[in-house]
Amino acid sequence: MRGIGGRIAVVGVILLVAALVLLVGRSRSQPSATNSGRSPARLTSHSSKTRHFEYVIADGAIYVYSIDHANRLVQTIRLPQLGTSIHGVVASPRTGRLYIAYGQQKPPGGALLAYGLRPGRTLWYRTYSFGIDSMAISPNGRWIYMPAGEKASDGKWRIIAASSGKPSGQSIGGPIGAHNTIMGPGGRYLYLGGVDSPYLGVASTATNLVVRKIGPLNGPGVRPFTINGSQTLAFTTARSFLGFQVSSIDSGKVLYTVPIPGFSVDPVKFPRTPNHGISLSPDERRLYLIDTPNGYVHVFDIQGLPASPPMLLANIRLAHAPPDDGWLQTSRDGHYLYVGRSGDVIDTRTDTIVAYRRTIGSTADFLEIDWRHGRPVATTNRYGVGYARRPPG
């Protein structure tokens, strides 16, 4: 009996160890997410009307706001493994996934997390031996283009399988200090911003080669930028200049260097990028530019481009000026302008601040996802690009 009891005890220990191993393995591939509130999947499950939601990544969580209901918080998704070092977010309505890049922007590396929007759970996360930063995703949701990080010494954008997070082994060699990335409409071209290169790179997704360089731009490198919907104009900022530049994507030449009338910055007192946030209105009639050292958002009329330069329309004083870097993103309908690292929400119809959201005040990573019939149907990126597809002027 003692022998049988001993064997039973051994078997019990083995089963317990196996269960623990299985649990650890599962937690590594699918860390838990704690949800509160009602998800857009539930809120729109019986709605044939498109509903609009802003997804804000901050403080180890995803905060979901209903844009249609005055940016009211509807859901909080706790993902503690994210921490506070968030560097990029993209979404794919086609696959129903949201991706978050977090961790280090140089070796020993960062990480990427995939979150299932409809099931409301983490699908997987992967850590890498290389840095991560603000990435882009292909329109079909198959490939993620991950920059090596502004703190890395190279200009490499690695191509990662969005289904699993596994690197494909392919990459694009772009500007040094690989940082910001915009996927052009249609997915043919990828726009690459490096913080240590005064050129904005344009890469072909068919060949994974840079096919055009825009510049030279104000140095030392490209900071936040955006493009118009017809991919004829690029709008860039730089650490050395208070204002922005407008360039022709076709010729690669700078068309206009636009200062901010009546405003200045002391680079000794503010050595960071003064305009770390730029966004077009979806109809491309306006450009919004954050002015962190002075605590403003400046509004420019850009309807005359490319024949005539942008003209200053308004200066909106922020109620909560960002302490250092900021960010700007417009809602897809153009109604709201979200001010990252400030928390202020601006109604673009009146150019007034109509709300404050604490979570937006602690991050620069947020985007819009639209839902209908319980499914994601559209998204923006975090860069405030234009959506007009008119032919070049």
Token output for 328: 């700007």
Where residue 117 falls among pLDDT bands split at 50, 70, 90?
Answer: very high
- Is the pLDDT at 27 greater than 50, yes or no? no
Q: What is the pLDDT of residues 279-308, one digit of tens each?
A: 999 999 999 999 999 999 999 999 999 999
Q: What is the pLDDT of residue 31?
A: 52
Higher pLDDT, 306 or 32: 306
Residue 294 makes CB contacts below 8 A (sequence gap 6+) with: 263, 265
Nearest residue to 299 via CA among 337, 355, 268:
337
Per-residue pLDDT, 306: 98
**Average pLDDT estimate for 27-50:** 82
> Rounded to whole angstroms, what are the CA distances from 137 to 204, 287, 356?
14, 24, 30
Question: For domain 229-393, which CATH number applies: 2.60.40.4070, 2.60.210.10, 2.130.10.10, 3.40.50.720?
Answer: 2.130.10.10
Residue type, position 49, single letter: K
Secondary element (H or E) of residue 170: strand 167-173
Please give the C-alpha separations between residue 203 and each of 86, 89, 173, 277, in angstroms, as whole numbers: 25, 20, 9, 23
**pLDDT tens for each residue of 312-334:** 999 999 999 999 899 999 999 99
The amino acid that residue 58 corresponds to is A
| Spacing of C-alpha 186 from chain mean position | 18
Question: Which segments of the chain belong to CATH 2.130.10.10?
Answer: 85-214, 229-393
Q: To the nearest 10°, report the CA torsion of 54, 87, 237, 288.
A: 10
Q: What is the pLDDT of residue 122?
A: 97
pLDDT band at 33 (very low <50, low <70, confident <90, very high): confident
CA–CA distance from 120 to each of 32, 170, 194 (Å)? 10, 31, 34
Q: How confident is the model at residue 32 (pLDDT cuts 50, 70, 90)?
A: low
**Domain 85-214 architecture:** 7 Propeller (2.130)
**C-alpha of 372 from chain center:** 23
Q: Mean pLDDT for the chain?
A: 92
Nearest one of 203, 86, 99, 189 to 142, comparing CA atoms? 99
Compute and round to an integer the Cα radius of gyration of the chain.
22
pLDDT over 90, % of the chain:
88
pLDDT digits (tens, 9 = 90+) for 175-184: 999 999 999 9
